[in-house]
Copies of this chain bind each other. A is one copy, B any other.
Amino acid sequence: MSEVAVVDARDEPAGAGTPELRLWVRLLRCAKIGEKQLRRNFEDQFDTTLPRFDVMAALHREPDGLSMGRLSRALLVSNGNVTAIVRQLQAQGLVVSRPDPQDGRSAIVSLTPEGETQFKALAEAHHRWIAKVFRDVPAAQIDQLVQGLGELRKILGDDS
């Protein structure tokens, strides 16, 4: 009976942890590594940030604009957070906010022509940076991960 304890999970066999735990750690780690590089690129080359790019990308996908609430849900960030980010973009003339005729509490924000132009440049660079980050990953492996993470995302209940 004492042998049970000897092979107990607590013995951490060097690549330790349960599969879920290892999945989580690796997921977070890979995301952090990529984010670090992108943040620096956005800062150095365009004097902007990843969150601002995210907002612009979401607006680019919706030419008719989005309310603050829909924006915050699309990006998985809090309402107050998008308030701040949109304010910055507004100050730079990259987005506009017009009152929602259907709802007096709400405003519809969308990219300005300048925002659209700026976004295209950012998106092109973003794509280039991503391609560089993953340049040494075999195509087959990328496809496999795209597929696996797609399923994972669905299971985690992403309502984007």
Contacts and interface: CB of A to CB of B under 8 A. Distances in A.
A143 B19 contact: yes
B146 A36 contact: no
A35 B24 CA distance: 10
Contacts of A136: 155
Interface stretch (A63-71, A87-95, A99-107, A125-133): A125-133
B33 A76 contact: yes
A150 interface: yes
Contacts of A52: none
Chain A interface SS verdict (over half): helix
Given A31-B31, A144-B144, A137 B152 contact: yes
A116 to B, nearest CB: 15
A153 B34 contact: no
Given A19-B142, A152-B141, A34 B28 contact: yes
Interface residues of A, number: 44
A46 interface: no
A18 interface: yes
Contacts of A121: none
Contacts of A27: 27, 30-31, 34, 145, 149
Interface of A: 18-24, 26-36, 76, 127, 130-131, 133-134, 136-137, 139, 141-146, 148-153, 155-158, 160
